[in-house]
Amino acid sequence: MTKSFFSFTALALAGAFGFAQNYPDAEQTVPDRMGWMQGFPPAREKTLKASDNSFFEFPALRYSVNHIREFYPTRAVSAGNGKKYTVKTRLDPAIDNITFTPWDAQEPMTFEQSLAANYTDGIIIMHKGKIVYEKYPAGLKPDGLHAAMSVSKSFTGTVASILVAEKKLDPSKKVTDYIPELKNSGFADATVGQVMDMTTAIKYGEDYNDPNSEVWAYSAAGNVFRPDSYSGPQNYYEYLATVKKLPDAEHGTTFGYKTVNTELLAWICSRVTGKGLTDMVSEMIWQPLGAHYDGYYQLDPSGIAFAGGGFDLNLRDMALFGEMLRNGGKLNGKQVIPAQAALDIAKGGSSDSYKEAFAKSGEYPKLKGWSYHNMWWITNNSHGAYMARGVHGQAIYIDPAAQMVIARFASTYYASNKYIDPLSIPAYEAVADYLMKK
């Protein structure tokens, strides 16, 4: 796969940028200081493009995550003109000095030091419904929008959870009950619930070092910069029809983090509602939440929203989305989503069968006891915390026991969460322990 054919779909999912290389630190790579896309016109060496992937090579990605709509076609997620949420701010400067020890490290660091270590672009911590910490170290502005990467999956999962709670979607039904076009695919005998929990036994890999890995065909289907010679699937949904089942495997037994499940779930939800993902997120979440800013999704060549990693949104709006879930679907005294949907997201994946399916994957040895449900990561820790996660440092971390929500946007050079978690999860837990004493 040539560099110019590396679609944003692949970039948004990949752990493709090496961890072992030496990169300039967070202070040196602040986008304004780097000068990307500045001037009339910008200098050639400071002009970034999607067609040659220059827009997503570190450190250029520190600019691009705040400007995706400048590189790809997008469609808005309207916040509408209704009543907006309100939130109080009572900043606690002591949070900067909370210390924790990263996994596999010997020396502790402060929470403030972790921001630079994770190339944080913006972070908000909420406690008991108030914003107690808010910083924008690089690139992102308080009114800006940032790529959420695979946090997008959890929005798709939330839409599906709402439809299940409203009895418009049945997780026990087969995929083909909603999408008969997939009768000859590997998804044919999977249930909707297995898609939501990513326990489909499909032959699909996201190995970026393997030119034959299925992710390349998936990415090509969603790429708006395809060469004229391309003759494969023309969009994400056409690609889903080509997915095969693993031989001698059963759906529902083993967790496998495969983004095509999210694309399929969005398609199923669209069949149920007769609406595209951008309208569903707008009408079912964003407008009832009272979001302050329109979001947007990146689109494939057929105008299909990239459900698995294409949502861009405002940091405060994302934090208040998390706060709404922490409160059982309520915000500012209003029931935004059904309480049953919020409860199922928070607790539905806590049984032993979910933990066993997660452990069988063998992909996350440091996430012992975790599980995955409705496109959300469930820690199953003593606080009942759960989270949405995306490459390059995107996160929503909800801790019910600590009455805490953390929302973070970042632009780390290391994409994969296996490099991000050791600096992030113990930091979140340390803040939760501190807030529990407040």
Q: What residues are labeled active site?
A: 150
Gap between the Cα atoms of 233 and 432, Å rounded? 46
How many C-beta atoms surround the C-beta of residue 380 within 10 A?
21
- Each as own residue / partner, the long-range contacts of residues 210-214 (CB below 8 Å, 24 or more positions apart, any chain) are 211/1, 214/243
| Closest alpha carbon to 320 in 294, 285, 347 | 285
User: C-alpha angle with apex 230: 240 to 73, nearest 5 degrees?
Assistant: 70
| Closest alpha carbon to 311 in 172, 152, 113 | 152
Q: Residue 81: which residues within 8 A CB-CB, separation 6 or more? A: none
For 172-237, give the secondary structure using H, E and C: CCEHHHHCHHHCCCCCCCCEHHHHHCCCCCEECCCCCCCCCCHHHHHHHHHCCCCCCCCCCCCCHH
Per DSSP, the three-state class of 54 is: helix
Tokens 């496109």 sit on residue: 375
User: C-alpha angle with apex 149: 102 to 297, nearest 5 degrees?
Assistant: 160
Per DSSP, the three-state class of 297 is: strand
**Which two three-digit tokens encode residue 189?**
């005998």
Contact 82, 290 (CB under 8 A): yes
Radius of gyration from C-alpha coordinates of the chain: 20
Helix (H) or strand (E) holding 62: helix 61-64
Contact 196, 158 (CB under 8 A): no
Contact 171, 191 (CB under 8 A): yes
Contact 353, 400 (CB under 8 A): no
Gap between the Cα atoms of 206 and 214, Å rounded? 7
